[in-house]
Structure 1
Amino acid sequence: MAERARFPRRVYGRGEEPDPRFSLANERTFLAWVRTSLALLAAGVALEALALPVDPVLRLASAVVFVVLGLLSAAQAWLGWARAEIAMRRATPLPAPSLAPVVAGGVVLASALLVVGLLL
């Protein structure tokens, strides 16, 4: 009964309590996505804060892409944690990280913008 009172109820109110090792591993994955989010946000801010020899328009575009990716990574952290916890509680297969391909593609895009900006 105590686990049904935990937040968020939409996660903890389902299924059976999984092995604590699996829940702790899920939390570590959550924290890895949060670290990724912070790194992407820092990259976006640093691009605009530092005087880099990059075309200003492409530098700004790359910075915006990094900041948006940082926000998406934070969303992935929360959504991925909740989806994995629910799957473990229901004893169903773990879902794939839904935003991971978007984040990876965005990093490639932002990096390409920087390379082009350096060459101009």
Structure 2
Amino acid sequence: MSGSRFPRRVYDRGVEPDARFTLANERTFLAWIRTSLALLAAGVALEALALGMQPGFRLAASILLILAGLATPIQAWLGWMRTERALREAEPLRPPWIAVPLALVVAVTAVLVLLGVLWA
């Protein structure tokens, strides 16, 4: 059965883990997808609503949020695969590679929005 599951590079390794851990991994995947949708929506809304901000700062903040929203599903997929493989092979779990860059993007975006409001 494991040979017919996608992706094979995940399911062809190790042994089937406890279903609770697999389901938790899927919930984490979906949380990253929700984060991606929120980042994309925030980036689009910031530019589409044309708030009373300096346009250059608003555009820069929007672009940062949209780029983060594009990168986050990649983290979701790669993180899901890495975690599932680690569970199947009883290896330690690695942290998400995007956590620190995403925190920096949110912080820089907040600074851009603040500056955009102050210089409007």
1:70 aligned residue: 69
Amino acid at match of 1:91: A
Report Cα offsets for 1:70-107 as digits up to 9, x if no partner: 01111111011000000000000011111111111101
Identical-pair percentage: 57
Residues 1:12 and 2:11 aligned together: yes
- Runs (4 or more) in structure 1 with deviation over 2 Å come to none
Deviation at 1:51? 2.2
Provide the secondary structure at the position in 1 that maps to 2:17.
coil
Aligned-partner Cα distance in 2 for 1:100–1:76: 9
Amino acid at match of 1:58: F
Matched pairs, number: 119
In structure 1, runs of 5+ residues without a counterpart are: none
**Aligned 1:27-46 pairs, distance under 5 A:** 27-46=26-45
**Aligned 1:70-109 pairs, distance under 5 A:** 70-109=69-108
Aligned-partner Cα distance in 2 for 1:111–1:4: 47
| Contact 1:72–1:103, Cα closer than 8 Å, also in 2 | no
TM-score normalised by length of structure 2: 0.97
Which sits farther off after the overlay, 69-78 or 28-37?
69-78
Which sits farther off after the overlay, 34-43 or 103-112?
103-112
Deviation at 1:4? 2.1
Report Cα offsets for 1:35-69 as digits up to 9, x if no partner: 00000000000011102011100000000000001
Report Cα offsets for 1:5-35 as digits up to 9, x if no partner: 1000111111110000000000000000000
